[in-house]
Amino acid sequence: MIRTRFAPSPTGYLHIGGVRTALFNWLFARQHGGQFILRIDDTDAQRNVEASLAPILDGFRWLGIDWDEGPDAEGDCGPYYQSQRGELYREAADALLQKGLAYHDYARPEEVQAEREAAQTEKRSFTYSRRWLAETDADRNRFEAEGRKAVVRLKMPRQGVCQFNDLVRGEVEVAWSGEQDHVIQRADGSCLYHLASVVDDHAMRISHVIRAEEHLSNTPRQIFIAQGLGYEPPRFAHVPFVAEPSSKNKLSKRKLAKYLKDREFAKINQHGQAIAEKIGLETEADSFNPVIVDFYEQVGYLPHALINYLLLLGWSLDDKTEFFSPGEMLQHFNLERINRSPSSFDPQKLNAFQEHYMQQVPLKQKVAMVLPYLQRAGFVSQPPPCDVGPRLAAILEAAGDRIKVAGDILDHTDFFTDTEQLPYDEKAVRKRLVKPEQAITLLKRFREDLSATNDFTPPALDTLLHAFVEREEIKIGEIIHALRVAVTGKAVGFGVFETLAILGQETCLQRIDRAIALAAEAAAA
């Protein structure tokens, strides 16, 4: 049975790089009919683990990455919180001690540090002297009489090589002599990460450890622990980390300020912030930004777009295939084709995937995606009036590809605003209504046609305007832009005929009247 795991710390947010690692684990397990386990790495136990974990679980749920065992999914390998598994780790430390593979060490931290620094100045690799190693009761008593406290250290081999086959990197060989006698248990009895991780992976029957490459150099000591405990070590696959936009540095949520200097990154951030503001979302810079999954959920991305983008960040099927349905991902994903070098996070390309998938979303579903944004921004009541569905469908149809993320609907709220309330863009009014000499005259004349017609459908309006243009012997550009500004307040927007039709005859006439008045005011000023 293939079993993989992801072990997030309850930090309060789900990081892009973490999701990518989790995705690989999940895909690998699922395609083999295996299981995916979520284990909570809360050994630094802060008080409100639940609260800090919630956004992470929500993120996974949103993305459709489900887990067989973990929080809210009890299995027979629990508990799934490392803070509740201390007893297991202590037993393991004792077992290692018993076998002579670990020892009590009475060194003070600064004493080890001094040795380390000495090695560095002499430009040789550091090997602990084991001066404060205690294997007999006599030693222990002597050190304790000095007021020293013991930690448990691994007694690493000092010759030979550790060899393992990494599913991404291939054969890896490391000399044991370069490994340290790492501490696995503190004086207070609490245990450290490496021990915990090995014990849990074994207890949870993890078959494949797929994790970020910063753990590559931790692997030998984990193999040592596993073997010492008599475990069969899992298979390892070290995937390169996700790097910053246009750089090879590891992506980190701490360096947000730096990423914001990247123009494209800043643009996407700004776009999201604008949407968040309109829906009244409280945002904090360190938890709402394009490095955090929640950002994309809030702004209205499609989870599958993110997943597809992340899939291709460090993995590819061939030289052509870009789009993968969930089924295709499951079918084609493999560890062998994961790249060995880090790939940088490019939010622009993520957007390209989003736009592609957004174009495929059926109208009805788009309506459902967009509605909550209008409600949260106060343009549509909750529950919505019954005519909102068809109306929204018409708007979205007219919008075409202009709505790239669900929150973009908030750029087109002029359909929901009362005429008296409608904001008019000053520049647009000047350019399209005030400056062109004929604009107002033409608009007034075309208003007559509009009020006279009784067919307010886009094709009919199209015919109406073209007839007008012919009669007046003008070019269409001389009226159509003025018309758009008059009814929407803006210089850019959807097709004019669709816009008019959605607004309806009465509203159009009102808005034209208001625009004419406004233009007159502006001209007089």
Strands 170-175 and 3-6: unpaired
Q: What DSSP state is assigned to residue 285?
A: T
Is the Cβ of residue 103 or residue 241 nearer to RNA in the bound state?
241
Task: Tell me the closest approach of the beta carbon of residue 416 to RNA, in angstroms.
Answer: 18
Q: Active-site residue 123, yes or no?
A: no
404 and 301 Cβ atoms separated by less than 8 Å: no
User: Coil, helix or strand for 138?
Assistant: helix
Site for RNA in 9-28 (CB under 7 A): 9
Q: Which of positions 119-148 make contact with RNA (CB under 7 A)?
A: 119-120, 123-126
* Shorter beta-carbon distance to RNA: residue 363 or 520: 363
Eight-class DSSP state of 81:
B
Please select the residue that binds RNA; options are 31, 83, 180, 413, rule is CB under 7 A: 180
Q: One of 253, 255, 349, 404 is an active-site residue; which one?
A: 253
State the minimum distance, in angstroms, from the CB of residue 33 to RNA: 25
Q: List Cα–Cα distances, 316 to 202, 340, 370, in angstroms.
A: 31, 12, 32
- The binding track of 474-503 with respect to RNA, each residue x by CB under 7 A or -, is --xx--xx--x------xxxxxxx------
Q: For RNA, which is the closer residue by CB, 117 or 521?
A: 117
Other CB atoms within 10 A of residue 9 CB: 17
69-77, 112-120, 200-208, 380-388 -> range binding RNA (CB under 7 A)? 112-120
- For residue 193, the one-letter residue type is Y
**Distance from C-alpha of 336 to C-alpha of 47, rounded to nearest angstrom:** 41
If you search the block for the tokens 């899939």, which residue do you land on? 311
Taking CB under 7 A as the criterion, the residue among 17, 342, 407, 489 binding RNA is 342
> Least CB distance from residue 386 to RNA, whole Å?
29
| Cross-strand partners of 318 | none
In the complex, least distance from residue 150 CB atom to RNA, rounded to whole angstroms: 8
Q: Write out the H or E segment, with its range, that includes residue 102.
A: strand 102-105
Q: Which residue from 227, 344, 413, 417 is in contact with RNA, where contact means CB under 7 A?
A: 344
Residues 396-455 that bind RNA (CB under 7 A): 400-402, 404
Nearer to RNA (CB atom), residue 48 or residue 348 = 348
For residue 37, what are the contacts with CB-CB under 8 A and spacing of at least 6?
Answer: 3, 4, 5, 6, 67, 68, 69, 70, 75, 77, 80, 204, 206
Instruction: State how far the Cα of 306 lies from the Cα of 302, in Å rounded to an integer.
Output: 7
Applying the rule CB under 7 A, the residues between 253 and 312 that interact with RNA are 312
What are the residues whose beta carbons fall under 8 Å from the beta carbon of 256, sequence distance 6 or more? Answer: 285, 286, 289, 291
What number of CA atoms fall less than 13 Å from residue 242's CA on the CB side? Answer: 24
In the complex, what is the shortest distance from the CB of residue 65 to RNA, in angstroms, rounded to a whole number? 19
246 binds RNA per the rule CB under 7 A: yes
Cis status of the peptide bond prior to 347, with omega within 30 of 0: no
Name the DSSP class of 171.
Answer: E
- Asked if residue 3 binds RNA (CB under 7 A), the reply is no
One character per residue 33-72, x = contact with RNA (rule: CB under 7 A): --------x-xx----------------------------
Site string for RNA, 205-244 (x = CB under 7 A): --------xxxxxx----------------------x-x-
Per CB under 7 A, 352 contacts RNA? yes
The residues carrying an active-site annotation are 253
